[in-house]
Amino acid sequence: MRILLVGAGGVGGAFTAIAARRDFFEAMVVADYDLERAEKAAATDERYVAAQVDASSQESVEALCREHRITHVMNAVDPVFNMPIFDGAFAAGADYVDMAMSLSRPHPDTPYSKCGVKLGDEQFAVAGEWEQAGRLALVGMGVEPGLSDVFARYAADHLFSEIDELGTRDGANLVVRDDDGHEIFAPSFSMWTTIEECLNPPVIWERASADVDGGWFTTPPFSEPEVFDFPEGIGPVECVNVEHEEVLLMPRWVDCQRVTFKYGLGDEFINILKVLNTLGLDKTEKVRVKGVEVSPRDVVAAVLPDPATVGPRMTGKTCAGLWVTGTGKDSRPRSTYLYHVVDNEWAMQEYGHQCVVWQTAVNPVVALELVARGTWSGAGVLGPEAFDAQPFLDLLTEYGSPWGMVEKPV
């Protein structure tokens, strides 16, 4: 296996640190628009070589694949660049893995009830071509989407005879402090992406029935607030519906009645996002400000601490997981939360990367190792739930990062 990693930012950097300990691949080209950043990440292993890449150019990606005889392209940049990387890999005859899917566009007339262009639509549109060519695009293979989708497949195969709802629930108790020890507001993940996720109309999937038309539909942002009790000491966090890939992936492969994604933003963060939206500071279109043009959302991201730098000042744990309700294998009602918790101090000490980017990066490394072994194989545009979950969860545990499961009251 010869990997092209596109993007040596937070997640890309953690990806190189994790993969450096594994022997399933022969070579990795670590590419970034910023060559210096690529070189820094590539310095950690002798199988790595740095390169410059323009992720917005299919030709740039394709040329790099051909030059280095790449077999697998790993996309670790902002999803706005998904299509040129995805198409570049295909053109070069390489397989492809990403951690977020092609972007959505709201319905022009009724954005808060009907879907417009959905997450991944552009990628699924060419699934037939990938399948015919015998090439694999493994999409949404981070932690969420990614591990959450693996949990869905595991629940269907091993825990439930009938599934009512597949509800991804993400929460954390991370706190960032300044040099004086005061808590500061510093998101642990890209603020640009967080705004995108949280202010886009959340998507929900429901099976058609006598009462329900069925299929995908949207709601207003921050809908259906719910307090979810997260395990391992994180505790209760206010969660709201958010647009996320799981809702687009799971119903394609896993039999169920309903799929949701709720993000444990907490009251303070929800309030901040609402204010940014009220003021128009979430907008990406440039505005003229005293002779220069800037995107307000870029300014919001620029005034906050860089998520890549908050690791050493952060304490707490992050939890990704899937809450499954339905009927167990024993024919009795069941409500189970399958989860994966990473402690920031452990991730910083063990890998030098903060827990949120580390947790995102570890899953595609595990998946690529399964692909390299031949344990996971397939052709087309496939989500993680299209593959057997057991070997994935076993290998994740072997990586030193076990998953957990807790029964909830039914």
Among 133, 212, 227, 287, binds a second copy (CB under 8 A): 287
Among 290, 332, 374, 409, binds a second copy (CB under 8 A): 290
Q: How many CA atoms lie within 13 A of 240 on its CB side?
A: 22
Position 349: which residue type?
Answer: Q
Number of residues that bind a second copy (CB under 8 A): 25
Q: How far is the CB of 244 from a second copy (least distance, A)?
A: 24
CA distance 244 to 260: 9
Which one, 290 or 332, has the nearer CB to a second copy? 290
Examine residue 410 and tell whether it contacts a second copy (CB under 8 A). no
Which one, 125 or 289, has the nearer CB to a second copy? 289
Examine residue 271 and tell whether it contacts a second copy (CB under 8 A). yes
Per DSSP bridges, beta strands 317-328 and 292-294 are: unpaired
Examine residue 357 and tell whether it contacts a second copy (CB under 8 A). no
* Residue span binding a second copy (CB under 8 A) among the ranges 75-83, 209-217, 284-292, 392-400: 284-292
Examine residue 303 and tell whether it contacts a second copy (CB under 8 A). yes
Among 272, 356, 357, 368, binds a second copy (CB under 8 A): 272
Which tokens is 248 given?
């687009």
Examine residue 175 and tell whether it contacts a second copy (CB under 8 A). no
Which one, 178 or 224, has the nearer CB to a second copy? 178
**CA distance between the termini of the chain:** 46
CA distance 181 to 397: 34
Examine residue 198 and tell whether it contacts a second copy (CB under 8 A). no
Which one, 63 or 281, has the nearer CB to a second copy? 281
Q: How far is the CB of 298 from a second copy (least distance, A)?
A: 5
Environment class of 205 (CB within 10 Å of its CB; exposed 0-12, middle 13-18, buried 19+): buried
CB 280 within 8 A of CB 297: no
Which one, 110 or 397, has the nearer CB to a second copy? 110
Q: Alpha helices of 336-388 — where are they, by DSSP H?
A: 344-351, 355-373
Q: Collapsing DSSP states into helix, strand and coil, what is residue 110?
A: coil
Which tokens is 77 given?
């940049």
Which one, 65 or 276, has the nearer CB to a second copy? 276
Which has the closest alpha carbon to 53: 73, 24, 25, 72? 73
CA distance 178 to 225: 31
CB 314 within 8 A of CB 175: yes
Examine residue 296 and tell whether it contacts a second copy (CB under 8 A). yes
Examine residue 185 and tell whether it contacts a second copy (CB under 8 A). yes
CB 198 within 8 A of CB 265: yes
Examine residue 298 and tell whether it contacts a second copy (CB under 8 A). yes
Q: What is the dihedral of CA 211, 217, 219, 223, to 10 degrees?
A: 70
* Residue span binding a second copy (CB under 8 A) among the ranges 125-133, 287-295, 325-333, 372-380: 287-295
Q: How far is the CB of 190 from a second copy (least distance, A)?
A: 14
Examine residue 210 and tell whether it contacts a second copy (CB under 8 A). no
Which tokens is 145 given?
């989407």
Residue numbers at the binding site for a second copy (CB under 8 A): 185, 271-272, 275-276, 278-281, 283, 287-290, 292-296, 298-300, 302-304
